[in-house]
């Protein structure tokens, strides 16, 4: 199978590798409480973003694209820009019952957005070879959430010191900061929001 991979596919796999590294860094932080682990995990997401940008450029430069490459790209993006940001948020203190629900909603929105893109890519291209716009925000925009978490970590505002505190709603806790995930997920699945693709 590896022989069938193009150069761009290896960059896509590097994206996924960074995403999983971020998830493991979040877990390590939860085990040992060393802030450096969390910083490393957060730093891996911008690196994943670089690999994600490069894989498309390399595919266009080499004039090689495939269905396998497109599917690989989506699966890697789910890890790096869906699961990993949710794991990092949880590690930072978004651990209430409502937080779990919102973080799960965010990941489900990312998966749905990527599935819709893969199914509608040919239609959105209008007969050309390139999609002209995105429906909803692309999942890599979750990088903005990771940057926000990195600022909170730098200020020491994680865990019990998390920005905006916590609220008890019924049986579960909600940290208002988690609502940035709800907003991001909702924008990803928007049908009316159209963003020109560079």
Does residue 63 have a pLDDT over 70?
A: no
Query: What confidence tier does 120 reach under pLDDT thresholds 50, 70, 90?
Result: confident
pLDDT given for residue 131 in this prediction: 65
Sign of the alpha-carbon torsion through 159, 163, 168, 173: negative
pLDDT given for residue 10 in this prediction: 83
Q: How many domains does the chain have?
A: 1
In whole angstroms, give the CA distance from residue 186 to residue 192: 11
**Cβ within 8 Å of residue 122, ≥6 positions away:** none
Q: Which has more confidence, 116 or 96? A: 96
> Residues 155-171: pLDDT tens digits?
999 999 999 999 999 99
Q: What CATH number does residue 53 fall under?
A: 1.20.120.1760
Q: Which residues pair with 194 in a beta bridge?
A: 135
> Residues 17-62: pLDDT tens digits?
999 999 999 999 999 999 999 999 999 999 999 999 887 777 666 5
Task: Write the CA distances from 131 to 117, 134, 141, 194, integer angstroms.
Answer: 10, 8, 18, 12
Q: Could you list the residue range(s) of the whole structural domain that residue 61 is in?
A: 2-196
> Residues 91-113: pLDDT tens digits?
999 999 999 999 999 999 999 99
Q: Are 7 and 60 in contact (CB under 8 A)?
A: no
Residue with token string 């692309």: 138
Report the predicted TM-score, pTM, of the whole model to 2 decimal places.
0.89
């Amino acid at each position: 199978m590896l022989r069938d991979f193009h150069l761009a596919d290896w960059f896509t796999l590097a994206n996924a590798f960074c995403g999983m590294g971020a998830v493991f860094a979040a877990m390590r932080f939860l085990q040992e409480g060393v802030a450096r682990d969390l910083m490393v995990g957060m730093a891996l997401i911008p690196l994943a973003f670089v690999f994600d940008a490069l894989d498309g450029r390399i595919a266009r430069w080499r004039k090689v694209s495939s269905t396998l490459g497109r599917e690989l790209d989506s699966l890697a993006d789910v890890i790096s820009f869906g699961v990993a940001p949710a794991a990092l948020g949880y590690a930072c203190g978004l651990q209430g019952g409502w937080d779990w629900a919102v973080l799960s909603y965010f990941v489900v929105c990312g998966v749905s957005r990527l599935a819709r893109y893969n199914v509608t890519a040919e239609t959105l291209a209008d007969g050309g070879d390139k999609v002209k716009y995105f429906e909803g925000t692309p999942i890599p925009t979750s990088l903005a959430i990771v940057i926000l978490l990195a600022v909170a970590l730098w200020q020491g505002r994680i865990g019990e010191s998390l920005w905006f505190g916590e609220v008890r709603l019924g049986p579960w806790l909600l940290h208002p900061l988690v609502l940035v995930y709800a907003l991001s997920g909702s924008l990803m699945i928007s049908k009316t929001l159209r963003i020109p693709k560079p």
